Every structure is written in C-alpha cells, then in structure tokens.
Amino acid sequence: MLIATTNDAPGYDIYECLGEVFGLTVRSRNAFSNMGAGLKSIVGGELKGMTKNLETSRQEVIQRMAEAAAARGANAVVAMRFDTSEMGGQWTEICAYGTAVKIVPRGQQVYTGGRQAQGFPPPATGSPPPAAPAFPPAEPPFGAQTQQ
C-alpha cells in the first residue's frame, strides 16, 4: 500500500476517495523508565528508550491505518499525518491518519461498474458508459454573481 504525506500520489491518478482512516495507540512507560528519563533530562542528551518507544509506536499506528484503509478497499493513503498528545501525564496517544483512496498509474484507464470513473476516458471498445456526474458539484467561485 502506498502511503504519502502529500495530497496526491505523483505518477498516479486518484479515481475514488474512500474517506478518512486512522491508526491509534496509547502508550505508557514504566516508572523506572520515566525516572531514568527524568534524570537524563537534567544532564541533557537523547532519551534513547523514549526514542525507540516513539519509533515503534509510529510504525504500529501506520500499520493499523493501512489495515483500516485496506478494509475499505483502498490501495493508498494520501495526506497522512501524525498526531500525538499526552493524557494524564502518564500516557501518550499516537495517531496516524489520512485519506483512503484508490489509485492507478497515470494514464491507465479505469472502468468501474458500468460508469466511467471521473477524469478517465471510456474504454476503447464497446459503447461508452453514461456520463458520470461532476465531482465535486460545479459551484460558482466564491463571491461570483449568480443569475436568478
């Protein structure tokens, strides 16, 4: 599964958006680790145990997010971000979230269920499918005058 922090996937076309997906974990460290980290913060330097814990947690939430996207039928997640917060001074919540999408290599034709996927030409053989509705709906630019 392709996971991108960008809003698109260079070299690919997004032909279906399946919604937001996320992976979540809440972690705590044992009291001895917290005490050791507190002492280390006095003298300065990297808190290697904390770094390892955060790295492991991020990989875990990415995996959970990818599983949630796959369950929706996605083959990619775009606009992926991390969010962390402290809960009660003892726990850290780590979340990975993004938008689950279906993508194809740029220029590849996609034909789904008798209607043309938005932005792709119809197949070369057979009769063309009915026109897909515009997505997003056409709206006048903000502040434009509309006729009534």
Res 125: pLDDT? 55
For 68-105, how does the pLDDT look when each residue is reduced to its tens digit (9 = 90+)? 999 999 999 999 999 999 887 778 899 999 999 999 99
User: Residue 16 above 50 pLDDT?
Assistant: yes
pTM of the model: 0.67
**What does CATH list as the number for 2-110?**
3.30.110.70
Q: Which residue has the higher pLDDT, 120 or 9?
A: 9
- Place 135 in a pLDDT band, splitting at 50, 70 and 90: very low
Q: List Cα–Cα distances, 123 to 71, 105, 111, 112, 120, in angstroms.
A: 28, 16, 7, 11, 9
**Residue 113: which of 10, 14, 16, 8 has the closest Cα?**
16
